[in-house]
């Protein structure tokens, strides 16, 4: 249920949207975006009632509570209002590839067929997205491929002309934020781990006009920024750990926000007003539930505003978190995050272990608190996350060293972490379980082929396992967007690189671990038939009598089931599968 209330302390709450009511007649229902017009009178929201990420947009009059007749279909989830409070910008999806590729402007009261086309992306390697500047004066159209990123801008007050902030350049990635009469740019121009620069509005189109504000550092990746009057807040990553720093714009003085724990994640949380004198952050660790702090911009004093409650007799003192590094076969230090219950951990090779991994797209699996992990920890499991190459755990180069021709590094890193933790006494070598989903499902399929003897059980969720076939069919959603991630099978070198690790193609006549494979009938990211044919071939080739289960959710897509509780059923299935095998 989404609510709002006015600033006055005694003001009543108003229900913006009750998703429970909307979802009553649907097996799946998800509201992705809510956007209220600047005059606070009309709510636009995008929703998916199939789980194929083909959204619809509806409009609600917040004064009367009635839905408007306007309805938009086959769109992406992004919604941005123009300043006139009568029109929105949205992205239409391609009917075959499901890629968002056309930006339209919709005026309230007109048919979708009458909407004005503002921009069309003709390069299928790019994703398209929409956002709005914090001062609501600029609408951004984001252009995003694996290695090239940038924006075009539209005046929200006169939304008729679109212009590139800077013409896209292969290999150049930049993000834009606006403060007063200047743009601040997070850019990798001559800075692999990014730096911050600024420029006046009329000079954006030439990089030589950009002025450096925060320099590049070899050991620190700058991931995002927030702007305030007088301050720049940066989310940074160094040696795998996230930090938030504050830089005074006038003096250049830099301070870093500190916390007591050594392993945690901190990130920005809903900072919508330049004029605030505090920064709001979200904080979590494997033993600290999600917490929201307000941080004084001048003193860095923290005020805890909210901490998620944990059902049961949870006490963080009963658990311990570690961050260590395991050597890879090519002498790289692979970060690993561990969590376990102190009264059951021995470090003598007797604890069962659950090892998770992803390792693609530069996505880093940060050490958030996950209440479901307590279920395994309380049963004596060590929970490990292997921050393998393909993520950005150790900076941008860590990602580059785990994609395309270097993709095999991701899979070997995961195996090397398993072996390293066995050697250090963290895991019982006969009770090791591995799990991953999507690109992490590819990881599971690859390690099952590379080192099946290491794992008693593997859970592979919505797995991308038929790599060569998928990357050879540009009509499938995501294929053309991801040539720079995996490779293009029309290129001979890319073809043989993918063939060498593709789980479906590398199935052998050997003993495989016990395996649980899950998928969703409506999955638009990894089509359901991909894990289905993988399981069928495994059944034909494997030489063992171990369990091999395929669970297909007939009402779900790539993100699993909707609702507060149904998504936990898949997690419970995985944990029941592993704990049963572990006795």
Catalytic residues: 438, 523, 558
Nearest alpha-carbon partner for 383 in 575, 581, 512:
575
Nearest alpha-carbon partner for 118 in 87, 86, 160:
160
What 3-state DSSP class applies to 331? coil
- Region label for 560, one of left (φ > 0), alpha (ψ between -120 and 50) or beta (otherwise): left
How far, rounded to the nearest angstrom, does the alpha carbon of residue 316 sit from its chain's CA centroid?
27
Distance CA 382, CA 356 (A): 11
Nearest alpha-carbon partner for 231 in 212, 216, 214, 246:
246
Place of tokens 């060569």: 468
Place of tokens 């059944």: 539
Distance CA 508, CA 572 (A): 30
Distance CA 299, CA 583 (A): 52
Structure tokens at 152: 């075009």
Distance CA 534, CA 514 (A): 15
Structure tokens at 107: 């005026």
The secondary structure element, H or E, covering residue 94 is none
Radius of gyration of the chain from its Cα atoms, rounded to whole angstroms: 24
| Residue 139 and residue 163 in contact, taking contact as beta carbons nearer than 8 Å | no
Distance CA 44, CA 39 (A): 13
DSSP per position, 257-276:
---S-SS-EEEE-----TT-
Nearest alpha-carbon partner for 438 in 324, 353, 367, 518:
518
Strands ordered across the beta sheet of 254-256: 221-228, 231-238, 241-248, 254-256
- Region label for 126, one of left (φ > 0), alpha (ψ between -120 and 50) or beta (otherwise): beta
Find the largest Cα–Cα distance for the chain. Answer: 70
The secondary structure element, H or E, covering residue 544 is none
């Amino acid at each position: 249920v989404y609510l709002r209330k006015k600033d006055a302390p005694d003001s009543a709450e108003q229900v913006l949207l009750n998703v429970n009511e909307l979802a009553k007649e649907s097996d799946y229902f998800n509201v992705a975006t809510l956007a209220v017009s600047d005059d606070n009178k009309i709510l636009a929201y995008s929703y998916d009632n199939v789980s194929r990420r083909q959204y619809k947009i509806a409009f609600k009059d917040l004064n009367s509570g009635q839905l408007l007749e306007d309805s938009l279909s086959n769109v992406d989830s992004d919604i941005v209002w123009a300043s006139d409070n009568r029109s929105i910008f949205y992205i239409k999806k391609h009917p075959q590839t499901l890629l968002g590729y056309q930006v339209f402007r919709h005026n309230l009261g007109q048919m979708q067929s009458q909407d004005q086309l503002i921009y069309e992306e003709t390069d299928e390697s790019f994703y398209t997205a929409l956002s709005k500047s914090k001062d609501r004066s600029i609408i951004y159209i984001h252009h995003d491929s694996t290695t090239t990123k940038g924006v075009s801008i539209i005046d929200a007050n006169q939304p008729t002309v679109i212009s590139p902030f800077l013409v896209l350049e292969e290999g150049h990635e930049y993000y834009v934020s606006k403060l007063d009469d200047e743009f601040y740019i997070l850019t990798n121009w001559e800075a692999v781990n990014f730096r911050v620069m600024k420029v006046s509005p009329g000079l954006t189109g030439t990089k030589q006009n950009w002025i450096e504000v925060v320099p590049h550092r070899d050991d620190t990746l700058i991931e995002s920024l927030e702007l305030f009057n007088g301050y720049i807040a940066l989310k940074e990553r160094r040696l795998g750990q996230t930090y938030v720093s504050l830089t005074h714009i006038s003096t250049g003085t830099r301070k870093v926000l500190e916390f007591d724990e050594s392993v945690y994640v901190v990130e920005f949380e809903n900072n919508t007003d330049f004029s605030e004198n505090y920064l709001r952050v979200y904080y979590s660790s494997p033993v600290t539930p999600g917490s929201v702090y307000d941080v004084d911009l001048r003193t860095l004093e923290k005020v805890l505003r909210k901490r998620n409650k944990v059902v049961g007799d949870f006490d963080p003192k009963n658990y311990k978190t570690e961050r260590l590094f395991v050597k890879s076969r090519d002498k790289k230090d692979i970060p690993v995050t561990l969590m376990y219950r102190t009264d059951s951990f021995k470090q003598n090779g007797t604890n069962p272990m659950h090892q998770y991994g992803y390792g693609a797209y530069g996505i880093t699996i940060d050490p958030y608190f996950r209440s479901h992990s307590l279920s395994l920890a309380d049963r004596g499991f060590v929970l490990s996350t292997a921050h393998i190459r393909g993520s950005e755990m150790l900076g941008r180069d860590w990602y580059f060293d785990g994609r395309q021709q270097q993709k095999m590094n991701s899979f070997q890193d995961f195996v090397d972490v398993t072996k390293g933790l066995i050697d250090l006494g963290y895991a019982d070598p006969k009770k090791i379980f591995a799990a991953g989903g999507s690109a992490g499902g590819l990881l599971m399929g690859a390690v099952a082929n590379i080192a099946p003897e290491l794992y008693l059980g593997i859970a592979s969720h919505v797995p991308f396992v038929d790599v060569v076939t998928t990357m050879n069919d540009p009509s499938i959603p995501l294929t053309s967007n991801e040539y720079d991630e995996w490779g293009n099978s029309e290129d001979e070198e890319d073809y043989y690189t993918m063939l060498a690790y593709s789980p479906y193609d590398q199935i052998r006549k050997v003993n495989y671990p016990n395996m649980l494979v899950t998928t969703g009938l409506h999955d638009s990211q990894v089509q359901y038939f991909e894990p289905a044919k993988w399981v069928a071939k495994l059944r034909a080739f494997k030489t063992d009598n171990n369990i091999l289960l395929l669970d297909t959710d007939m009402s779900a897509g790539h993100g699993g089931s909707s609702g507060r509780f149904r998504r936990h059923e898949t997690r419970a299935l995985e944990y029941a599968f592993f704990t049963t095998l572990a006795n």
